[in-house]
Structure 1
């Protein structure tokens, strides 16, 4: 026991005051006691160290104004005096202070409680603070990662996303400089992405750095597809050609990691530089991994956007610019013409007898021919010109900077014709394709892009009428025949704006019960001068010119609004069927247009059915299915219109999210007399029902047709036998009558 007592004596454990001092000095948290004037009475060594003192005794008698800047000191003092005055503790306040020893900011979680005497009088305060800097850094890292990912989602510019990412990494680490380089389209050079802390001179010097072995840390990492750590740039052979550059900018070490796509393709590099010769610490390696993952997401998103943008302005088959880009290029060319006074010409090119290739060898062979023609056209023109695919076998050549005569135009046109005429070997067969060309020139043949293209189109048709394999310059006389067509085109645009269009509705009836379960919205045009215009006249024109998109959007909105009116009037909900054109459906904003119409009219999506033509559905099955599924998820249903006329791929048909097939009226017209039509109609009904689809027959006009459809178990019918297309008021009467009796009987 004596030995123990001696040890206790040596360790001063028998001295309560020294024991207390040793205890508080060994606590890692910051402990202190202040008097009523907020001056330190007692503090442990942790408090002394953070304020830059060797001993806690050096703090005795000092207050916050002796230790902090005036603003921070005033804030701390106000809190402490409030605790002393009120006797109410302040618990868990987070505050930021500067560590006097290191100069770093530290975050503390501080509690301050009143110090009371034996008679419960407040005689000062006791404080304890815990360093929560690591937690705050983690919180900041998480919040910044979230913010950067949000920037990616809202399509912020890539350089802004990468710059913020690098700044985040630099803030998390000490004494390092971040850099992101992007691999170019050719996959051979690295270009500047973001490096906010590196000098512009250094960034400019490595912009365009070729990748490969021995190309520094970044060039080698991109070449190998794996991380490269160089602890000493001055002695590492990878930096042989760049060590002087690094030395001039005080860079001693560089650790680079490749930025990889989700499938392992190198997109660029993320690097950290240090002004000291050293290896990276584990925290730096971990943050590098985080940075490369986020950078990969941002870069892949940008690549996807670029691809989508390219798809929006280029033809998917040939890679040529499409109609949208042509309008922009032509407008720009005409503006340049006004300044420099050369001509601009549009050559509208249509391949002669292209259908023969498709019919004899199939669409794949036809596609190969179109791609070959596209390449030949591009090889015939100058870099300032453009070859454009309008669709099908129609192309446009834009010629710019021409002298004010037709010789240069004729020379270019003959060169193009000769190139197209060269033999093509497709599927082992030799083809000679000719073309018909229409030519319109700015400014004499049109002063805007749309007119110029239209006039070249008119001239091309005159070349075809003259026997094909020829060309025709546009003349004012050709425009006379197109005048009515152009007037209709302008009229459609004006008619939408001035409410000249209206909707009629034709009931669709369940055969079993005779109940109206849906109506089809049909657009009509009451022209102020020409009167009621047949839809067969203005719908194809609207399709061709693109006006079907705003017209179709108006139809969709009006139809949804009317269906909601019937429901609000107390009628049992029915389905509104709206026809969708190919141009509408493939418009990039189509899904949002449908959702907007439903939202604005407050119509339940389950009360809307969109009718797609068979040819539209089969054009690009995967793209169509994706769009349909997006709308089907919210309740919108789909029907295939005019079924039987588009040569459907039945294997594709079964994968479509379609509720109904609509038998084309052409099969019903001669149904009673034509055995082939009977066979086809019965087969369609059987096929659809095996695919769990309803079948509706349109154009039902006779009792004989109705009898055949009943006998073959057709589900639904539509046609004049039950009702022609009528106004919304008449539909209301039919629905009212239906609610008071069993259904709608044939007329």
Structure 2
């Protein structure tokens, strides 16, 4: 069922801020006609005019007015079956009203709502009719233990996984759903359609198994009502899932005392700990070890002894890690604090600085034993790196040495320190109501300067631009070198938006003045500037920076050497996006698209084992346009489907040609977007590309972004299973950015995971990210998945990844993405060197 060109969307919520967030997300995406209502009375008046609506977005706050509005909506025959996307708070998930199964958290509105709405519009809402003897597994995620019950709740069928769970117990057939599944929230059967509802599976012999269920009400071909239930056993994966999810959010907390307390609380919640304690013991501090965070979830009040009275703490501060998991394999050491807390499993881990000297200690423990000791220990070691980094950063600030946080070329704060300052500014602004702006500054045509005049001149230009940026703002503002030729600024204490515009104009004009190079020559280097405001454009640092980046691209599209404000003129922004979308439609036919190839190398031998195909758009007027800018346009407009197929066919044909010429068996990685994965004929498209080009399916690796979930892409597992069965390999791309769980890894037929470059680039800078990389490699290997690290740029990255067992590497340290002709020369040179080496060995 195709999505209409202009889909009518109803926005219904009493909250003005939520209506605005929804409107901004959908209006920026385009292709929607938006109508909104703030209460049930306004909604009834709006619907009386019978507007053409395809989907409703409802703020699920549980109020009587929202429930009344939903009843009014369903009372109109034209909207009785309209799909609804519920928006729920970011806290503990409440059951959406009106039995809605499609929901989204508030924090994900900007990033995911447009896609969810398009999916809802595209879904056929007519009741699904199934045969009485059909295989009900289509309703479930892979790996679930399923049962099917009649309308009275009596179980009539069960899958093999459920039978295994109930082995050596009374038969599952004939039991009632209410006797088998006890819902944690007290709901009684039959419960409505829904996903991931926490429950307890109760066997007849009294054994209780914690888990969660997905529920679907179905109709057979005789009109009979069936209730399909999928149960997931959470005993083995619960701790590991929460631990892996914890790793990806630890770095979001600040490094002050409040932030460390927040990290400790998150750690206790994620690992179900009774106690967490963090001590600081910097050698240069007076007074001995001091407690900086303490969490106690056990009964009553416990008196904590002084640090000098705790023998295990003393050993830990001496650099010794003490691990007692209560599994009987280690003797329980005596300690007054452990005894007072009643702990049966605990760890004391030293917090180390970059020279591996103890600067503090982390203690965590439980009053009971568990079967998740290995994951428990790994997660705590990763968390200890977060606390170590916080103490080290505090020490650096106290001593005035922001080690590892300053760009060596320009002397400006680097990306890590910039993000820390943005987070600090946001917290202060939330308290004081301050308005501030983030600017994203990009040098125009800097690549040409580097290529024609050399990197030495490029460095002179970057240093000069940095000096001019600092001279253009106040001492209270922040100027940072974000990456390459990109600079970012935070302008604080803004009273009027016009003040920021004047500063932006000053920056643009200052850069127009010719630069005097060391050889006496002159060079003009202009900049494009994007501006985003807090809190008008975003209240999160990452989103604020992304909006400034988008505004910067708007400045480039207007001829460069100017500034643009994010969404300052919606009509202009939509016109610019419309023009780029229109040009993108003809990019393939006009020969503007390019496929570049970046090699992947074996971590041990550094020999080429594969390459990733990367699409580039060479606009005749704007030059190379970043994939981060035009890929979202392609996805929003649906153009990603034909573009993706063109990339697949082009890359497969090129890989086959290289295989015929060099016979290296190189693996070819091709990215698949969420939109492509939703195409029902994707497996057929891939099969035809392989057949037409002659490439062996085992040489093709299809990369799926970690943020793509089983819930947002229907039949994701089935599609990937079909591709895997064909012989293709599957990789999870950008791993670590989407908080994927071990359960997610198990359910997808993934051969490898690719650690996101944002973590790799911080190796040697941020101990948090180093810990995440170590834990990810270890967990992936335990799941028998290969690991490739993206963004390897310096020798330090290589040595760290090699020492921690990473399998393959990809990044600028080895090679930038290359056009096919240059990549062919690389392979030919490799063949020549191998031949020379073989000749020497035979001589």
Q: Kindly indicate whether structure 1 or structure 2 has the higher relative contact order, using CA contacts under 8 Å at least 6 residues apart.
A: 2
- TM-score with structure 2 setting the length: 0.36
- Structure with the larger helix share: 1
User: Which one has the largest radius of gyration?
Assistant: 1
